[in-house]
Amino acid sequence: MGRLAVGISAGFAVAACIVAAAMVGKRVKRRRKWKKMVKVLEELEESCGTPVGRLKQVVDAMAVEMHAGLASEGGSKLKMLLTYVDKLPNGREKGTYYALHLGGTNFRVLRVHLGGQRSAILGQDIERQPIPQHLMTSTSEDLLDFVASSLKDFIEKEGNGLEQPSPRRRELGFTFSFPVKQTSASSGILIKWTKGFSIEDMIGRDVSECLQQAIARKGQDVRVAALINDTVGTLALGHYNDEDTVAAVVIGTGTNACYLERADAIIKCQGLLTTSGGMVVNMEWGNFWSSHLPRTSYDIDLDVASPNPNDQGFEKMISGLYLGDIVRRVLLRMSQESDDFGPASSKLAVPFALRTPLMAAMHEDDSPDLSEVARILGEVLELPDVPVKVRKLVVKVCDVITRRAARLAAAGIVGILKKIGRDGSGGIAGGKFRSDRPSRMRRTVVAIEGGLYTSYTLFREYLNEAMKEILGEEISSNVILRVMEDGSGIGAALLAAANSASEVDRVQLH
């Protein structure tokens, strides 16, 4: 019996040792997997780095690409499109003007009453209406007759004290958020449809003329006085409020910028004469690219899988359409390295399953246990019961991607300022650095619109911080980033006022 007891005790001891060894082995394995996940984050931080030296290289590259795009068609990834808008609202506009914004599955009609003094918008009416699905793939006549009918109904409801001051023809600003080749301040040729529209008979035709014909069919005396995109509208609204506004940036689902350029710097359009000596240039900056941009394997994979590979490289690193998906790709990689996320989720492998507003909500979750992060991971990505330590990693990933985006957007803005000599260095004009400017920095305002900047607090803070780092305290104190609301609507009405029929054509080619 003694020997048996000893044997049993020895057996238990061996079993205990085996169990202990297994537990230690599991802990070691878990630790190793955790370290792999942390390493993914560390590699991401390193590859997304935006030290101020690198940002200044992006600034220089942006300014040089702007110059190249102005010098010749196709000379740069930046299209640097002429808008033929050479006169921005100055505050003296007076009367009632209209705007129409067609940019997706809804459209808006606005009426704005101007008081003849800067920032004196005495009142406005706005009406939103969905576009019936069948009209998005019908004919140009069907679509625009529907829009013109809605405009007619809106005009006939004139009211709320915003009465037409005289029987003169009404002037309309048209914000058309589809690819257009501008031919004048009030006309442009539709290049292609996007956003679910497919109306073949309108491609290659003048958008304003098509709308003008539809308005005439409805018996309305309304003139399309301006055809713009939302970025130009934002600049118009910014300039109406503050004459020192020289550029506008939209950072939302997509991103773009425009600015006021000297006419003699637009080399690709020889003989361009404007009364004001300047013209608004639509940069289409989403397509900007430079070897100095900190691109990661996740960016490359996203680009390859996109409908437009090798296009819109800058936009894919800084705009709201893409940031959430970059974060999702990083989390997918982490989940492949460790089981700390819990059982594998097929949702995590679905492109764009994590939208940027949800990413922002996780990033800005300040609860002690990151409960909002847990909720989004569970409900949206089907990752329930993720430990708090992993949630903290998720927040850090959101932070790295957002910080990179905001700082690159700041570098793009400073690139514009450098090109026009508003960054304190003299800028680039006509291909030469200008040294004839006074040393005192002029007050400069950049109008900004778009949810990433206006609604995402940490994005805004990172962008503002980077502006100060790049420009320095003294110069950055003279640069104001001012939020605009509804440049695509109010800005279009303001440009209709600035380009009203009482004005003569100001842009000439000689």
* Residue 458 phi, psi (nearest 5): -65, -35
Residue 114 lies in a domain: yes
CA quadruple 367, 369, 373, 374: dihedral sign: negative
Residue 68 is encoded by which pair of tokens? 């190249």
Higher pLDDT, 404 or 266: 404
- Mean pLDDT over the full length of the chain: 87
- Establish whether 506 is a catalytic residue: no
- The pairing of strands 255-262 and 278-282 is antiparallel
CA distance 97 to 441: 36
The pLDDT, as a whole number, for residue 13 is: 55
User: What are the pLDDT digits (tens) for 149-175?
Assistant: 999 999 988 754 444 444 568 999 999
Q: Do residues 336 and 359 touch, judged by C-beta distance below 8 A?
A: no
Instruction: Return contacts of 389-392, CB within 8 angstroms, 24+ apart.
Output: 389/340, 390/37, 390/340, 390/341
The confidence score (pLDDT) of residue 505 equals: 45
Residue 393 pLDDT: 96
Q: How far apart are CA 350 and CA 382, in angstroms?
A: 11
Task: Give residue 508's pLDDT.
Answer: 44
Residue closest to 288 by CA, chosen among 65, 50, 6: 65
**For 288-344, where are the alpha helices, taking DSSP H only?**
297-305, 315-318, 320-337
Q: Nearest to residue 114, comparing CAs of 502, 500, 493, 468? A: 493
Q: Choose the catalytic residue: 149, 177, 184, 276.
A: 177
Q: Could you tell me the two tokens for 242?
A: 């503050």
pLDDT number for residue 439: 47
Q: Supply the CATH number for residue 156's domain.
A: 3.30.420.40
Residue 295 domain-assigned (yes or no): no
Query: Which residue do the tokens 């503050």 mark?
Result: 242
Q: Which helix (H) or strand (E) holds 208?
A: helix 207-217
Q: Taking phi first (over 0 means left), then psi (-120 to 50 degrees means alpha), and beta for anything else, what does residue 496 get?
A: alpha
Predicted local confidence at residue 341, as pLDDT: 84
Check 108, 391, 422, 460 and give the catalytic one. 108
Structure confidence at residue 338 (pLDDT): 84
DSSP states along 452-477: HHHH-HHHHHHHHHHHHHHH-HHHHT
Query: Predicted confidence band at 346 (pLDDT cuts at 50, 70, 90)?
Result: confident
Give a yes or no: residue 447 inside a domain: no
Q: Which residues contact 179 (CB under 8 A, 6 or more apart)?
A: 190, 191, 192, 194
Looking at the domain assignment, is residue 230 inside a domain? yes
**Average pLDDT, integer, range 123-150:** 91
Rounded CA Rg of the chain: 28
Question: What per-residue confidence (pLDDT) applies to 166?
Answer: 47
* Coil vs helix vs strand at 279: strand
482 has pLDDT over 80: yes
Q: Is the pLDDT of residue 404 over 50?
A: yes
Residue 443 lies in a domain: no
**How many CB atoms lie under 10 A from the CB of residue 139?**
13
pLDDT for position 18: 58
In a domain, 201, yes or no: yes
Give the pLDDT mean for 202-226. Answer: 94
- The pLDDT of 448-466, averaged and rounded, is 96
Respond yes or no: is residue 187 known to be catalytic.
Answer: no
- Answer whether 469's CB lies under 8 Å from 52's CB: yes
Q: What is the pLDDT of residue 501?
A: 53
What does the alpha-carbon distance between residue 434 and residue 428 come to, in Å, rounded to a whole number?
Answer: 6
Alpha-carbon gap, residue 288 to 60, rounded angstroms? 12
Tens of pLDDT along 260-269?
999 889 998 8
Mean pLDDT value across residues 456-485:
96
User: What are the tokens at 348?
Assistant: 């995590």
Residues with Cβ within 8 Å of 395's Cβ and at least 6 positions away in sequence, in order, are: 362, 363, 365, 370, 373
pTM above 0.95, yes or no: no
Q: What is the pLDDT of residue 378?
A: 94
For the question of residue 177 being annotated catalytic, the response is: yes
- Distance, in Å, from the CA atom of 56 to the CA atom of 444, rounded to the nearest integer, reads 19
Region of poorest pLDDT, from 7-16, 288-297, 343-352, 377-386:
7-16
Q: What is the pLDDT, as a whole number, of residue 192?
A: 86
Is the backbone of residue 442 left (phi > 0), alpha (psi -120 to 50) or beta? beta
Rounded Cα distance, 32 and 201, in Å:
61
By mean pLDDT, which of 63-72, 123-132, 360-369 is the weakest?
123-132
pLDDT of residue 211: 96
- Domain total for the chain? 1
pLDDT for residue 502 is more than 70: no
Report the pLDDT averaged over residues 403-413. 98
Name the catalytic one among 230, 303, 325, 423: 230
Share of the chain above pLDDT 70, in %: 87
Percentage of the chain beyond pLDDT 90 is: 66
Give CA–CA dist 415/423, Å, rounded: 8
pLDDT of residue 103: 81
Cβ contacts of 213 within 8 Å, gap of 6 or more: 144
Q: Give the pLDDT confidence of 202-213 residue by residue, as tens digits.
A: 999 999 999 999
Determine, yes or no, domain membership for 440: no
Q: What span, in angstroms and rounded, lies between the C-alpha atoms of 393 and 32? A: 16
Higher-pLDDT residue of 4 and 445 is: 445
Containing structural domain, residue 168: 81-241+486-499
